[in-house]
Every structure is written in C-alpha cells, then in structure tokens.
Structure 1
Amino acid sequence: MSLDRILAVASRIIRQIIKDRRSVALIVLAPVLVMTLVGFSLFDERDILNRIAPALLGVFVLFFTFLLTGVSFLRERSQGTLDRLKITPVSRADLLVGYLLGFLLFAMLQSVVILAYTV
C-alpha cells in the first residue's frame, strides 16, 4: 500500500463530493431535518429522547454515510470512473483505504453537525 495513492484517492473523493450540491445537502441538511422531526415527535418524552440520542446519532451517521457512499459508487460506475481506476497502478487495498478515508471525513463532519444541532 502506498500512502500517496491512498491520499490521491481520498482527495478525489472529497473533491467529488464537495462539488455536488446534493451530496453536501445530504451531509448537512438531511440529518438536521431528521433530528428535528425526531425531536418534535418525542417532544413530550424528553427523558426518552435523552436516553436514545447517542444511539440515534450513530444510526443517522451510519445511514447517511452509507447512502452517500452508495450514490458516489453509482455515479462512478455510470461515468466509468471506477473501471478506469481499476486499470491504474492503484491496488485494491489503496482504493479501499482511500475511499474509507474520504468518506470517514464526511461521517465525522456529519457527527459534528448533528451534535452541534442537538446540543
């Protein structure tokens, strides 16, 4: 595994997602909207909401990151980017770790957004 190749893949993923407005909205606005709806639905049950909030944070970050990853892979497959990446000297492990780092950044960003909104 090569650190340069891993960082190149991760930076490509980050640039690709930042350029797409729908992906940015999925990262920032969708979790805020869902947390608002959950807050309104459990408004009278504040003690329940306080107990399940950490679990909701994990589930929402996992769900929205999974959704973002799926959309990105579908876009790359339809544009042929993934096939072109496979024929470069980047190993599958480099590709996997690069994707992991790229999407990990957005998962952490989502966690911060949700925590900042709910606290």
Structure 2
Amino acid sequence: MIEAEQSFGYRTVAALLDMDKNTVQRVFQLKGWQVRTRALGQRPRVEAKVSRAQKPDQRWATETDLCRAWGGKDGWLSLALGIACSTRQLLGWHLSRTGKASMASAALEQALITRFGTP
C-alpha cells in the first residue's frame, strides 16, 4: 500500500486498514516512512527591522484599539485614528459604536480629505 500510494500518511493508512493510528504511526517511524518530524525547541525569532517613512505622505497608519470610551446610552464607542507615520500627525478620526474595518476606512477617508481636499 505504501509503495502504491506514497502520499498516504499514517492517518489515511490507519483508516484504510482499520487499525489504531498510533500503532501505524509507530510502524511508520520505525521503518523510516514518516518524513515530517517535529522541530525541537522554539522557532527562531524574526529580526525586527526599523521601518520609517522618510517623507510626508509616504505612509499612513490606522489605530483602532487605542481608545474605547463609554458613550452613555450608546454603550462603548470605538475610536479609529488615521496617522501620518513620518510626522505622527493626526489626519483623521472616526468614532463608532462598532469596531469594524469600515470604521478604519472611514478614518482614512477623512484623513485623505483633510490632507488633499475633496475632488
């Protein structure tokens, strides 16, 4: 069966043979048929690189989890901010009852209008 279908793993073979999957996995390990092994230890950390915008309007960012305010009868309100990364200037904001992606896009839309005006 292994030679006929080399892509079968131990779970598939165990199901086809109606055997315990742990027994089949042990046989796979002893025969050297199990290719993928678990990595020992932790994965290496990704090296953090400095990322800076050199000029104004080169990169903008939105922040939505920064502030949650109590709106009285409306409940909790979420604030989305549109920020220029080079100058850290607040360009646009949007206050909403829901914390959806449309809230961040509304903040960016207001930032575009603030920076470049309406068409």
Q: Shorter-chain TM-score: which interval?
A: under 0.3
Q: TM-score normalised to the size of structure 2? A: 0.25
Q: Select the structure with the greater relative contact order (CA < 8 A; seq sep ≥ 6).
A: 1
Whichever structure has more strand as a proportion of its residues is 2
- Bigger radius of gyration: 2
